[in-house]
Amino acid sequence: MKKVFFLSLAAVALMASCSSGPEGVSSETGDAQEVGEASQTAKTYAVETAGSRLRWYGSKPTGEHWGYVQVQSGSIQVEAGKIVGGEVVFDMTTIDVQDIPANDDNNGKLVGHLKNPDFFNVDTFPTAKFVITSVEEKAQTINDSIQTSHMVTGNLTLRDKTKSISFPANVTVTDAGLEASSPQFLLNRLDWGITYNSTTIFADLKEYIVHDNMGITIAFKAKADASK
């Protein structure tokens, strides 16, 4: 009886943790911003695809899933040791699921669903792009434990829709290269037209709903391009 009781408590705790959506830093989302041109004296850093990727996290009342999207290409402009522009292109065809074993049929089914028009529609929109509009030095402590050094703002194009987003990150720039990484921040998928089983639109679906917010974590490295 005790074992059954504690298993029941664990199930309730899991459902409670997923009932309100993923945890993360609230990001600022708005209309796409104008992208300025970097000066001719800016130095170009080439994004290293091997050391860069996006982590996604999604949830519903009965569970959660997460995985990665690989970086296809990118370049960052730096002037006087500060990021002044750039863009990163994500290969949406590489989206995977990490919480289900790769040899499990459910892994392939979920990946296929994420790639179809219900979600990212990768046959029509094989890439997503983030274009930097500003990187501001802004040290802050998040949730009393996570330290970040900058606020990154840029235009995110996903499924042919572009919105400006801002999120905190740790950014380090040297003459040889740079690194940037964010804590998990939240994006509302409805802003990019992804409405499948939305809690806002289909509230009567109960356990079949998928929370509107996605958890996103971005990490990338870039190496100084000696030719530019």
**d(C-alpha 67, C-alpha 119), whole Å:** 14
Q: pTM for the full model? A: 0.88
Q: Which residues, 6 or more positions from 189, have their beta carbon under 8 angstroms from its beta carbon?
A: 195, 198, 212, 213, 214
**d(C-alpha 135, C-alpha 117), whole Å:** 33
> What sign results for the dihedral spanned by CA atoms 143, 145, 29, 211?
negative
Could you tell me the two tokens for 49? Answer: 């695809």
4: Cα separation from own chain's centroid: 38
Q: What is the mean pLDDT of residues 93-101?
A: 98
Structural domains in the chain?
A: 21-224 (2.40.128.110)
Give the rounded percent of residues in the chain with a pLDDT score beyond 70: 90
Burial of 88 (0-12, 13-18, 19+ CB in 10 A): buried
Q: What is the mean pLDDT of residues 14-39?
A: 77
Residue 12, pLDDT > 60, answer no
* pLDDT tens per residue, range 186-200: 999 999 999 999 988
* pLDDT tens per residue, range 118-166: 999 999 999 999 999 999 999 999 888 899 999 999 999 999 999 999 9
* pLDDT tens per residue, range 42-59: 999 999 999 899 999 999
Residue 16, pLDDT > 50, answer no
Residue 30, pLDDT > 50, answer yes
Please give, one letter per residue, the 3-state secondary structure of the chain: CHHHHHHHHHHHHHHHHHHCCCCCEECEEEECCCCCCCCCCCEEEEEEEEEEEEEEEEEECCEEEEEEEEEEEEEEEEECCEEEEEEEEEEHHHCCCCCCCCCCHHHHHHHHHHHCCCCCCCCCCCEEEEEEEEEEEEEEEECCCEEEEEEEEEEEEECCEEEEEEEEEEEEECCCEEEEECCCEEEEHHHHCCCCCECCCCHHHHHHCECCEEEEEEEEEEEECCCC
Residue 35, pLDDT > 80, answer yes
63 band by pLDDT with thresholds 50, 70 and 90: very high
Residue 14, pLDDT > 50, answer no
